[in-house]
Amino acid sequence: MRKDLTGRASNGTLVLILKKEEAGKYTKAQKAAMHFSASSFGSVNQFEIGRWKNFMKPPRFQYCAPRILDDALLLLEQEGTETKILAGGQSLVPLLNMRLAAPTHLMDINRIAELNYIQPEEGYLAIGATVRQCQVERSLLIQEKHPLLIETIWHIGHMQIRNRGTVVGSLAHADPAAELPTLLSCLDGTLLLQNSTGERLLSTDAFFLGYLETALEPGEMVVEARFPWVDPRAGWAFLEFARRSGDFALVGASAVLTPAEDGSCQVARIAYAGVAGAPVRAREVEQVLEGNALNEQTLNRAAEVARAVVSADMNDIHATVEYRRVLTAELTRRVLQAAWARCRV
């Protein structure tokens, strides 16, 4: 671009300025092309002088990335209510980019090495706050001891999302259509919350309050999720229905069935995603199953009862309540059959 042909418009962008006697030398199309190149040259120039700061997608926030949990908790206590915790960022950063969330402070916990652990304990599997979903997928321990967790995670987003997204982050975000809150609810799992003065252990019923809403208090952080082990005799399955691979499910279902020696179902656990403002543990469906053989009649009754777990306000652009009820009934049938087929009697 010839510098002598450009000038600056009132908004600072470069524009084409032609002297009257020169103007006749160019066709209309040539002038348009020069205008275009002048204005794009202008914006590159702005990037170079750092003015692109004003064109960023996420809103302004203060950031810090502590390396020690105690420091993080202390900072959380000092900075009060407007601090969000950044782990994998696969839900939070889209919210920031769309400016649906505007926290004043962002605390990045990715550098806190002490929170990156997968620890088998008596009765449950403990997963620390910075463990990524792909780490769980690749863990030989979990592949062997908790395959239901792997099957569940496999339904989350895409490989690129699971490479960053964390298990605990997904729970703390509390999207009711998400897979992990549903699984944790199905297994009667718990979440360990910590602040600078102490810790508390919450059940899923106490933690998940509603759409993206949890019992987390200002200054508190979820440091660990505890997934109870599944009885080795039990059959399990996670299924969901989404319009495209990797999308959030319209409805998802997680089931664990423990067989009795006489071939009936002794203990049943079933939970749903996408049917209400929080994950739903369907005890009324479990009652239909417990003590009965899993025959066609039982499946039909379970599917019928399951229709009622869909909350009446679950109408949105993706599906109507009635459609979700149809999906829930069918998924109930399929997830129970899949789980039952894996039982070891």
With 0-12 / 13-18 / 19 or more C-beta atoms within 10 angstroms meaning exposed / middle / buried, residue 140 is exposed
- In angstroms, what is the minimal distance from the CB of 90 to another protein? 6
Q: Are 250 and 327 in contact (CB under 8 A)?
A: yes
What does each C-alpha distance from 252 to 29, 77, 241 come to in angstroms?
A: 56, 36, 6
Other beta carbons within 10 angstroms of residue 10's beta carbon come to: 6
Distance CA 50, CA 339 (A): 57
Q: How many residues bind another protein (CB under 8 A)?
A: 40
Other beta carbons within 10 angstroms of residue 110's beta carbon come to: 18
- Binders of another protein among residues 110 to 129 (CB under 8 A) are 110
161 binds another protein (CB under 8 A): yes
Q: State residue 104 phi and psi, 5-degree precision.
A: -75, -30
- In angstroms, what is the minimal distance from the CB of 19 to another protein? 33
108 binds another protein (CB under 8 A): yes
- In angstroms, what is the minimal distance from the CB of 65 to another protein? 7
97 binds another protein (CB under 8 A): yes
Distance CA 35, CA 244 (A): 42
Residue 49-68 contact track with another protein, rule CB under 8 A, x = bound: ---xx--xxxxxxxxxxxx-
Which of 10, 11, 197, 245 touches another protein (CB under 8 A)?
245
Stretch that binds another protein, among 154-162, 172-180, 223-231, 252-260 (CB under 8 A): 154-162
Write the CB contacts of 1 (distance below 8 Å, at least 6 apart in sequence): 34, 37, 38, 41
Nearer to another protein, 163 or 311 (CB): 163
Q: What is the DSSP string of 51-83?
A: GGGGG-SSPP-EEE--SSHHHHHHHHHHHGGGE
Nearer to another protein, 153 or 187 (CB): 153
Distance CA 104, CA 118 (A): 32
- In angstroms, what is the minimal distance from the CB of 319 to another protein? 19
Distance CA 273, CA 254 (A): 8
Nearer to another protein, 105 or 226 (CB): 105
Residue 134-153 contact track with another protein, rule CB under 8 A, x = bound: x-------------------
160 binds another protein (CB under 8 A): yes
Which of 31, 35, 164, 200 touches another protein (CB under 8 A)?
164
Query: How many CA atoms are closer than 13 Å to the CA of 65, on its beta-carbon side?
Result: 7
Which of 33, 36, 158, 320 touches another protein (CB under 8 A)?
158
3-state class (DSSP) for residue 182? helix
Which of 2, 3, 19, 244 touches another protein (CB under 8 A)?
244
Nearer to another protein, 76 or 310 (CB): 76
Nearer to another protein, 93 or 118 (CB): 93
89 binds another protein (CB under 8 A): yes
What are the tokens at 334?
A: 């399929």
Q: Which residues bind another protein (CB under 8 A)?
A: 47, 52-53, 56-67, 71, 75, 79, 89-90, 93-94, 96-98, 105-106, 108, 110, 134, 157-161, 163-164, 244-246
